[in-house]
Amino acid sequence: MDKILIIDDEKMLHLTINEIIETMLPGIKTINAYSGKEGIKLAQEEYPSLILLDLMLPIMNGYEICTHLKNNKRTRYIPIIMITGMQSNYQVKIKSLEAGADAFLTKPLSIPELIAQIKSMLRLSEAEHMLRKERDKLINVVEEKTIALDESKERWDIIINNTNDGIWDWNLKTQEAFYSNKWKEILGFAEEEIKSNIDSFFSLIHEEDRDSAERIFDEYTHNLTNKFQLEIRMRCKDDTYKWLSYRGDSIRDENDEIIRIIGTQSDITDKKILEQKLSKMAHYDILTGLPNRVLLEDRLKQSINRSSRSGTMTGLFYIDIDGFKSVNDTYGHGIGDILLQQISHRMLKLIRKVDTLSRVGGDEFIVVLADLKDISSTEIIAKRIIIEVGKEYLINECLIHVAASVGIALFPENAQNAENLITMADIAMYSAKEAGGNQLRYFNSEVNKMTKQAIQKKQLSEAIIEKKFSVLFQPQLSVIERKLFGIEAILHWDKKKTTVDTHEDFHFLAMGSDLNFQVAKLVFDTVVARILLWKKDNLEFPRVTLHLNSQQFYYMNLYNYIITALDENGLDGTYMKINVTENIIMQNLEMAVEILNKYASQGFHVGLDNFGIGYFSVQHTKFYALHTMKFNFPFVTKLVTISDKVNIAKSIVDFAHGLNMTVVADGIKNHADMLTLKNIGCDIAQGEHVHPAITPDSISELLLEYNNSNKGIIDPVTY
């Protein structure tokens, strides 16, 4: 029974590999070691057919363990597969092979590649084991000069004829060679078609692999390496090429000089094809076949490094296809995919072989122009791309037109590294789109400033789509009794995911865009969903306040959406309150009154928000009824001296009470503020000191607590 020793300090990796081997290679026993010392001990005791060795181990690393095993007479011939998490690190691979590893795998492990490597190594282990036995016997035969030579040769013929791998034997003294029938069969040759010399082998090697094969052969025969191992392409009889793995061991004379090399030949073409497919999947866009962002960044870094050494420049185009979304919506994604392929094909014709065209998003491309001596050619190529992409496309009898916006950034003029260069070109591209598309822009400080707001809008829009925005609820409590008076819905977002820091910045960016409607809809939908849950749980609750900015308030489609959604859910406006600022009302008094009356007719209460920062006249109250007036307590009082603070606040309260409005003071930060509000007769308090804004689930828990403790919540319809 074949045994595989796994040396790794991660128990989860042991469990995973054990399960894979048990499922896909039944009959093979696994042995588990969790340290280098334990692994060396088990290797000597159990003598496994194969060792899977992790590179990064404590105390003894994989290099040290591998060297120790290869220097031990009992374990030196056991094949070792080195496993590491260091992706595509050439130096790590070389060092592993120099330490004696026979193969190399990277984490995360590919199951097909793992199984293929295990099978290959087990075949090698079996062949090498049998070869060593036969070699020892042959040497004994030579030394003893007995008739056992014939018996050994018979066994040797049996091995050769029954193995799936080819067998080869080189005599370095005479340059004669033996190649088994299987060796020739793998390449498609008949027995008499391969001459019995070493040159026959090297003459069939692919010209791109020949130099490395000769170097490895020379290093091995001059004792510079301790193993003979090749993975090369060999020419078959039909002039096609196969990937073959060659592994050999040596016979030495009394002077320890290599006189013969005997080894195996394995067909690894399928394995190489799989590796190439996996590499292509990891580095190329499946739809267009262009390099993806991973490969692009690698090539861009290489180009920047060359430019740094040679004093040349690297140019980068960030290209967006204007109108592509419309194509998808109108004709379907199938047509859109063909369009992207044709666009890619057109742009490839316009750049040099040393340049790189990459697809980095749905309809976004990046071009890297390498080794530029001056910038004159960049604008020429960019204009050609705009012209070529803008030509019409005929796809499945559909005549299609799109355009290209191109942003240009240069190294070292605009940025000092790959990541920043891409960002600079991206900013310039947005500037081109803002200019109406079918344009090109170079990155500069003015473009950067003009584009910042456009990028922020895009980030906010993506944040809504990706649900990075959320809604919090902040309770409002009566100043005297501290009973729950109302709940205010507050928009919240993860500021780490955008470049927008304040509500003012957000509303400035949202104005004049569909983003404003998306935000209002998100808040309203969240409130409706929560009210339905409260009603289902038979909870009493106060009105929930919604804030509307100027665009949202005057946008009748939002009003229609709100009323329709309430009706479809069996609700009405008696569960909510609309808050608007006095400035919004004064923008268009006549229309504002009409809209407020529409909301009032549906049962909504109306509140005046942020009183004291705009213009408000008592005469305007004759046009509509306001239920609440909210003012920001810290903002109003910080405008006057401490001695006047109470008087100013009391004047606001008295003014509101005179208009039959409930007064809400926002921004309460401490107990002293609460005492002041109580003394001047303010009705309602809101702020972090009163109660912080909390999640929808937390506000539901708070309502349940108030209901169960009989806090006397006022019915939302009557208060």
285, 297, 298, 317, 669 from 291: Cα distances, Å = 6, 10, 10, 15, 55
Q: Report the range out of 95-109, 252-266, 451-465, 638-652 with the highest average pLDDT.
A: 252-266
User: Using CA atoms, how far apart are residues 535 and 556, in angstroms rounded to an integer?
Assistant: 28
User: Using CA atoms, how far apart are residues 177 and 260, in angstroms rounded to an integer?
Assistant: 9
What residues form DSSP beta bridges with 235?
A: 241
Tokens of residue 563, six digits: 């009323």
The answer to whether residue 611 scores a pLDDT higher than 50 is yes
Residue 476 in contact with residue 666, Cβ under 8 Å? no
Confidence band of 339 (pLDDT split at 50, 70, 90): very high
Q: What is the pLDDT of residue 5?
A: 93
Q: How big is the CA angle at 336 (ends 334 and 341), to the nearest 5 degrees?
A: 100
Helix axes 376-390, 333-348, angle to 10 degrees: 150
Confidence band of 282 (pLDDT split at 50, 70, 90): confident
**Residue 292 CB coordination number (10 Å):** 18
Enumerate residues 6+ apart whose C-beta is below 8 A from 620. Answer: 585, 586, 589
* Per-residue pLDDT reduced to its tens digit, 171-197: 999 999 999 888 999 999 998 899 999
Q: What is the pLDDT of residue 645?
A: 66
What residues form DSSP beta bridges with 60?
A: none
Quote the DSSP letter at residue 197: B
Tokens of residue 114, six digits: 């793992």
Residue 516 in contact with residue 552, Cβ under 8 Å? yes
**Residue 354 CB coordination number (10 Å):** 12
Domains and CATH numbers, the chain: 3-109 (3.40.50.2300), 160-275 (3.30.450.20), 288-443 (3.30.70.270), 464-708 (3.20.20.450)
Confidence band of 466 (pLDDT split at 50, 70, 90): very low
Q: What is the pLDDT of residue 494?
A: 63
Q: What is the pLDDT of residue 150?
A: 52
User: Using CA atoms, how far apart are residues 441 and 424, in angstroms rounded to an integer?
Assistant: 11
Confidence band of 715 (pLDDT split at 50, 70, 90): very low
* Per-residue pLDDT reduced to its tens digit, 80-123: 998 887 655 677 777 888 888 888 888 777 888 888 888 888 88
Enumerate residues 6+ apart whose C-beta is below 8 A from 104. Answer: 81, 82, 84, 93, 96, 97
User: Using CA atoms, how far apart are residues 153 and 643, in angstroms rounded to an integer?
Assistant: 114
Q: What percentage of the chain carries pLDDT values higher than 90?
A: 42
Q: What percentage of the chain carries pLDDT values higher than 70?
A: 84
Q: What is the pLDDT of residue 613?
A: 59
Mean pLDDT of 472-489: 91
What pTM was computed for the model? 0.41
E-strand stretches of 253-395: 258-267, 313-322, 356-359, 364-372, 393-395
User: Using CA atoms, how far apart are residues 247 and 264, in angstroms rounded to an integer?
Assistant: 6
The least confident of 117-131, 144-158, 518-532 is 144-158
State the chain's mean pLDDT as an integer: 83
* Per-residue pLDDT reduced to its tens digit, 645-671: 677 788 888 888 988 899 999 988 888
Mean pLDDT of 406-427: 88
Q: What is the pLDDT of residue 688?
A: 87
What residues form DSSP beta bridges with 479?
A: none
The DSSP element (H or E) to which 11 belongs, if any, is helix 11-24
Tokens of residue 383, six digits: 């204009």
User: Using CA atoms, how far apart are residues 159 and 179, in angstroms rounded to an integer?
Assistant: 13
Residue 515 in contact with residue 460, Cβ under 8 Å? yes
User: Using CA atoms, how far apart are residues 22 and 3, in angstroms rounded to an integer?
Assistant: 12
